[in-house]
Amino acid sequence: MPALSNMRVSFRLLFVSCVMLFAPLPLAAQGVAQEHAKEQVQRQQTQPLNNAPVWRDVRGGQHPYQTSQVRGIETTVLVQSEGEIWRQIRNGPITIYGGWLLVLVVAALGIFYGWRGKIMLGHPRSGRLIERFGPWDRIVHWSTAISFVILAVTGLTTLFGKYVLLPMFGYTLFSWMATLSKTLHNFVGPLFALCTVVMFFTFVKDNIWQRGDWQWLTKFGGLFTGKHVPSWRFNIAEKSWFWFGVTFLGIIVSVTGFVLDFPNFAQGRETMQMANVIHAISAVLFIAAALGHIYLGTIGMEDAYESMRNGVVDETWAKEHHEYWYNEVKGQGKAAGGAAAPAHASAMKEGWKL
């Protein structure tokens, strides 16, 4: 047994010597490596097979031995301990609390729909239509919306698939779903980032705070009371979605997505792990906020979906949901605060009938 132990010590010493010979370090680093090697050899004589100090140095970020001929960021890293921290955060708080947040939002929307039902028009349709969204507005909106839905579905598959889809479909089918999700997510991400920028410049002029928005906010647009509350082309809830969701969260998920999508720009694993955590948290918040927007734009409100699909709304709908904007377009009545509203009669489609 002593002879076997001595052979192991000699082999480790030979290995260290070979590494130093074929992967030369600067003189100072070589001196540190030699000292570590001597200490390790001495330790093996007193405590055979005990390599705790070496692995303590490795896990602590100290790497006295050059282990690769490749020169670049993190090429000498044997063990990146921060990866375990990232894994615990990603599979712990983000997955657990993020999952419950989405469940609660869906449940809240379901309860609200069961209590309030679909928000219907309070008066008969007039038969006269107003153009609410032009062709360019709809192209930008639907390009952004479709790319967002693809990213949301593929992102949720990546984040929660192991816990939800894998037990349902098994390893073979889930592996195909995960691979497809990863590919779509990587390629659609840059498209969504471009659409976000275009959407900002397309709709920003109508999402500035205006007089009358505070009244809508204090009464929450009459969603719970059913009472009429006037607003401009976009109410304060839609403006909040634009600034917090589309703009703020859109920028965060886009920037962090680029960091993850293109790992060849000298960012290390620690940077990508931080980007992944920020990306996941922002994406979950983005999806949660988008669920409310999607709800009101589809089953939650009469004719809301048709306004973005066809670009026009009935005068009755315009007056009941966006009266200030209707007066501005129609050129009748007063704008918020008593100022006379400019006329935009060209926007009226008087000859169109439902």
Other CB atoms within a 10 A radius of the CB of residue 280 amount to: 20
SS3 332: coil
Cα gap 180→162, rounded to integer Å: 15
Q: What are phi and psi of 350, to 5 degrees?
A: -60, -35
Q: What are phi and psi of 196, to 5 degrees?
A: -60, -45
DSSP string, 49-62: T--HHHHHHHHTT-
The tens digit of pLDDT for each residue in 101-159 reads: 999 999 999 999 999 999 999 899 999 999 999 999 999 999 999 999 999 999 999 99
What's the distance, CA 86 to chain centroid? Answer: 17
Please report how the helices 250-261 and 269-297 are oriented relative to each other, as an axis angle in degrees rounded to 10: 140
The tens digit of pLDDT for each residue in 265-285 reads: 778 888 899 999 999 999 999
| Cα-based distances in Å from 274 to 6, 160, 161, 347 | 45, 19, 21, 48
Q: What is the DSSP letter of 314?
A: E
The tens digit of pLDDT for each residue in 208-256 reads: 999 889 999 988 888 888 788 899 999 999 999 999 999 999 999 999 9
More confident residue, 76 or 188: 188
Query: pTM (2 decimals)?
Result: 0.76
What end-to-end distance do the CA atoms of the chain give, in Å?
A: 96
| Residues constituting the chain | 354
Please report how the helices 250-261 and 135-203 are oriented relative to each other, as an axis angle in degrees rounded to 10: 90
Q: Enter the tokens of residue 5.
A: 């132990």
